[in-house]
């Protein structure tokens, strides 16, 4: 099988975190389930809405009377920092990230910085020189701000960047930014309708930096 985008040269790779380079869904859903039950929400209906967006925006969208979204999001972050059981790297991620030049990739996540640092460490993954988190933008995914900021800090045109994402909100943000998109399906329980190429994980994917610094994808 030919790797998606095998003929393309990219200036940089931008990676979502949860569900894209590491599996933290079980940990996140444990914390959010307890929170949802405290507020009498239907857990099964609510949980799908938490992925890929900032916690404060998830809470604001509920419009719960008397609830301070900022305070609740901060409390949830502390709970998620304390619960990293079962957080693991998605297959092949460590080797794939380790092969990238430090100035050519970034993690772009809807998690707060302290939580992102904790989860990347828990998964045993390399820490990027460029990390864009919920703390760095006013408008989170599906707004394009986070990906545009990552490209700016890397000094690369967003149109020449490839975004690795797993959620509809993240995919929409990458599209709005003008980047190419690769959908990672490792944590998908159901097929996601998308026009973009997909990979299950990084185990069979190789990256080769060109002499110009451009990144080339190929199969192992």
Residue 83 CA to its chain's centroid (Å): 18
Q: Is 219 a catalytic residue?
A: no
Catalytic residue among 18, 83, 145, 166: 18
Residue 160 buriedness (CB in 10 A; 0-12 / 13-18 / 19+): middle
Of the candidates 16, 83, 145, 166, the residue annotated as catalytic is 16
- Residue 18: active-site member: yes
Instruction: Give whole-number Cα distances, 60 to 50, 54, 70, 83, 185, in Å.
Output: 12, 10, 9, 23, 28
Bridge partners of 163?
A: 14, 181
Residue 47, both tokens:
């949980």
Active site residues: 16, 18
């Amino acid at each position: 099988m030919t790797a998606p985008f095998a003929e393309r040269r990219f200036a940089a790779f931008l990676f979502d975190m949860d569900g894209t380079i590491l599996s933290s869904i079980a940990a996140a859903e444990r914390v959010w389930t307890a929170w949802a039950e405290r507020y009498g929400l239907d857990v099964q209906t609510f949980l799908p809405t938490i992925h890929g967006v900032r916690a404060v925006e998830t809470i604001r969208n509920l419009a719960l009377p008397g609830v301070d979204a900022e305070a609740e999001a901060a409390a949830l972050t502390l709970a998620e920092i304390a619960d990293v059981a079962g957080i693991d790297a998605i297959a092949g991620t460590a080797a794939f990230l380790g092969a990238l030049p430090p100035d050519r990739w970034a993690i772009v996540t809807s998690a707060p910085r302290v939580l992102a640092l904790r989860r990347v460490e828990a998964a045993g993954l390399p820490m990027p020189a460029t990390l864009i988190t919920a703390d760095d933008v006013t408008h989170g995914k599906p707004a394009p701000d986070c990906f545009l900021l990552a490209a700016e800090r890397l000094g690369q045109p967003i149109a020449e960047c490839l975004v690795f994402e797993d959620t509809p909100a993240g995919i929409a943000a990458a599209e709005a930014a003008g980047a190419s998109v690769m959908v990672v399906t490792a944590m998908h329980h159901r097929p996601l309708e998308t026009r973009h190429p997909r990979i299950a994980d990084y185990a069979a994917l190789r990256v080769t930096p060109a002499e110009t610094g451009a990144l080339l994808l190929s199969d192992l």
